[in-house]
Structure 1
């Protein structure tokens, strides 16, 4: 992912705050024996600091990839919108279209969890996050609705060892330019436009 200086996260607080409100992305690992990368869309739980946890079905091809090489990337993107050429120039013929988006990529070292208690801990944490109002029954290694199904899954603990964060909203352009695009997003109001506009305005307010 190319990150120009003006698109970079201002500090770790910015990307952490953004990622804390998101829990779905893509887990990617190198392919085995020269094969293509393995990419798995999945829910996950980021602890806000240095660890991501999740679980997947035992037949998932990601396991062989991680056993061969434990380095993985968790990639999340959101708040995206297409910006037409005419919005970025006084003449549609001269303008260059672009994409607005936010993206965080966590490079991680993976540890596969096969022990029952370890998998139960991951399930408890994920269920507490995704179903905070309860209703999921007891989560235990030897009781409740899940214990007989633990053998069908494997857990994953991902230690974050590197972060690449990007907020691409034309921060290098004058304020008047960005305000014009923000107005265009508000008027167009396609799915995603409001979220992209909110990110653009937030960055504009912080930097000017």
Structure 2
């Protein structure tokens, strides 16, 4: 992974604290008949990798539209000036913006949620996550249940 110097962590404590604050978790992954405390911690996750063909967006109005979308995402309350090609403050900044438009040509997706484990195990994990209810537990339990509903045994 390419990391610009300004994007690097400040020290090891920064990424360790980020993990410790609940951006990762360990569910109850123990074999049937084994106490959950004897299980191996794991993370359930989804990863999506796109292979894309990039197109440079350079037309002023097209770049303005990209900027409008980013502002709507990062400042949804609208606390920014209108984006217009011929008006300040953004009009004069548009020549310095290059926007990529990505055309997905292939997608690989992985959803690691122990689908190879027995239904009882996956159900118990979802119950434990819901009961604990910290960090990403609730959203993980919802995904686990949705996968159970679709995949069953």
2:87 is aligned with 1:123: no
How far off is 1:152 after superposition? 3.5
**How far apart, CA to CA, are the structure 2 residues paired with 1:103 and 1:93?**
28
Compare the two structures and name the one with the higher helix fraction: 2
More strand by share: 1
Give the alignment partner of residue 2 of structure 2, picking from 38, 41, 45.
38
Whole-Å separation in 2 of the counterparts to 1:143 and 1:134? 17
Instruction: Give the one of 136, 149, 158 matched to 2:93.
Output: 149
- The corresponding residue for 1:29 is none
Unaligned runs of 5+ in 2: 5-22
Give the structure 2 partner of residue 64 of structure 1. Answer: none
Residue of structure 2 aligned with 1:88, choices 30, 33, 37 = 30
Q: Alignment length, in residue pairs?
A: 132
Q: Is the 8 A contact 1:88 1:181 kept in 2?
A: no
Q: Which has the larger radius of gyration?
A: 2
* 1:1-208 equivalences in 2 (<5 Å): 37-38=1-2, 81-84=25-28, 87-89=29-31, 90-91=34-35, 95-128=39-72, 134-208=78-152
User: Scaled by the length of structure 2, what TM-score is found?
Assistant: 0.69
Q: How many Å separate the matches in 2 of 1:101 and 1:137?
A: 38
Q: In angstroms, what is the RMSD of aligned CA positions? A: 2.8
Q: Distance in 2 between matches of 1:80 and 1:162?
A: 28
Cα distance in 1 between the residues matched to 2:107 and 2:3: 18
